[in-house]
Amino acid sequence: MLSLFQQILGWLQSGTSKLLVLAGSIFLITGILSPVGTLVWWINEGAENLGFQDDQEKDKLNLDNLPEPTSGNKVKKINCYIIFLPGVGDFSSDELTPGEEVFLNRLEKLHPNCVTVRDVFPYSAANEDLGGQRLLAPVWRAINEGEGWLKNAEFLIQIRNLWRFAISADERYGPVYNQGIAFAVVDRMNAAHPISQSSQPINLIMIGTSGGAQVALGAASYLNKWLNADLTVVSVGGSFDGNSGFEAISHLYHLEGDRDWVEDITRFVFASRWPLTVASPFNQAIQEGRYTVVNTGLHTHDGANGYFSTQTVGNNTTYVELTLQKVNELPIWSNSKK
């Protein structure tokens, strides 16, 4: 299959129109198959892991039997979790950019009561990387590891992940998909540090960039049901609809750069984001003061001037440091906020 794929790409080099035809075809095919993959996951694994009834969900997650944090190699008290959900260009849960690593490492140092969760892949209900046990895994690996002209085919990964973003926002398939993501979040939270069963709510901060913001909101309703947590979403140039998750979160902070036009698209695509739809959860959050826009400066959506770029913007400050400064200034770093 991989050899055939490479031959197809070689044929496409001879014409831009051929590439556009392939892109359009893949866009349609992946759109048709994306819900099928989610439903197959639910039938094979999701229903067994999560249960169909609300009163079974907590038992399935084993939240009552989680061990309390010990004073072993972590003497600090952890009552805060930072969940990072990357953008649609990612291939796997462990493919953070150097700038994203810097961002999360610095947050942990600035807030020693917090632990970061970096291994949730928001474009798979099973939290499975594209190179995992998939029919097209060899193709995705070839694209991700490709060099030269093959590197240009990375947009196919973005197309594939964009459809998962769309599923998360879909009223039909979203509930299944978002439950899977929420289950993965709880699982990786407990792996990073055992979740305390104290009566004091934990501070749960979900930071999503690009499509990760939508997935964070999609999972929020289930996390709010399963955990004793004060849940905040931080959108870093994120894209999201105006329905998902707003009833379950304390606040959504949307960071946007002056040169980021990509994050503007969903304002027009989703009617629930339009000012005229005053009853939508998004507009209700605005009226209740639970939605705040934060300007971050000269950022573009990604690339050399993106939110997590390590390039210098001026005065020996990098773009990722500007993002870190804005996030660190948000009133979200204690359970006593609001």
User: Does residue 134 or residue 121 have the better pLDDT?
Assistant: 121
- Residue 72 placed within a domain: no
Tens digits of per-residue pLDDT, 285-297? 999 999 999 999 9
| pLDDT for residue 159 | 80
At 134, is the secondary structure helix, strand, or coil?
coil
Tell me what pLDDT residue 141 has.
Answer: 59
Number of domains in the chain: 1
Could you tell me if residue 316 is left (phi over 0), alpha (psi between -120 and 50 degrees) or otherwise beta? Answer: left
Count of Cβ atoms closer than 10 Å to residue 108 Cβ: 14
Q: Is residue 243 pLDDT above 90, yes or no?
A: yes
For residue 337, is it within any domain? no
In-domain check, residue 338: no
Total residues belonging to the chain: 338
Q: How far apart are CA 43 and CA 133, in angstroms?
A: 17
Q: Is 141 part of a structural domain of the chain?
A: yes
**pLDDT at res. 48:** 54
Place of tokens 């993106």: 306
Domain presence at residue 7: yes
Across 214-235, average pLDDT: 96
Task: Report CA torsion sign: 182, 187, 192, 193.
Answer: positive
pLDDT value of residue 49? 55
Looking at residue 94, its pLDDT comes to 73
| pLDDT given at position 12 | 44
Asked if the structure places residue 71 within a domain, the reply is no
Q: Is residue 128 part of a domain?
A: no
E strands present in the chain: 80-85, 114-117, 202-209, 229-236, 251-256, 291-295, 312-314, 317-318
What number of other Cβ atoms are within 10 A of residue 329's Cβ? 10
Q: Which residue has the tokens 């947009």?
A: 155
Instruction: Specify the pLDDT at position 71.
Output: 41
pLDDT digits (tens, 9 = 90+) for 311-326: 998 778 999 999 999 9
Structural domain boundaries, residue 202: 2-63+77-123+135-328
The pair of structure tokens assigned to 252 is 């959504």
List pLDDT tens digits, range 64-106: 555 454 444 444 689 999 999 998 877 667 788 999 999 999 9
> C-alpha distances in angstroms, 268 versus 122, 240, 256, 259, 273?
23, 11, 16, 17, 7
Residue 216, pLDDT score: 97
Asked if residue 30 is part of any domain, the answer here is yes
User: How far is C-alpha 112 from the chain's CA centre?
Assistant: 23
Which of 148, 175, 218, 159 shows the shortest CA–CA distance to 33?
159
Asked if pLDDT for residue 328 goes beyond 70, the answer is yes
Query: For the segment 252-267, what is each residue's pLDDT rounded down to a tens digit?
Result: 999 999 999 998 899 9
Q: What is the pTM of this model?
A: 0.80
CATH of the domain at 200: 3.40.50
Task: Provide the sign of the torsion angle of the four alpha carbons 231, 53, 134, 16, taken in this order.
Answer: negative
User: What local confidence, expressed as pLDDT, does residue 29 receive?
Assistant: 54
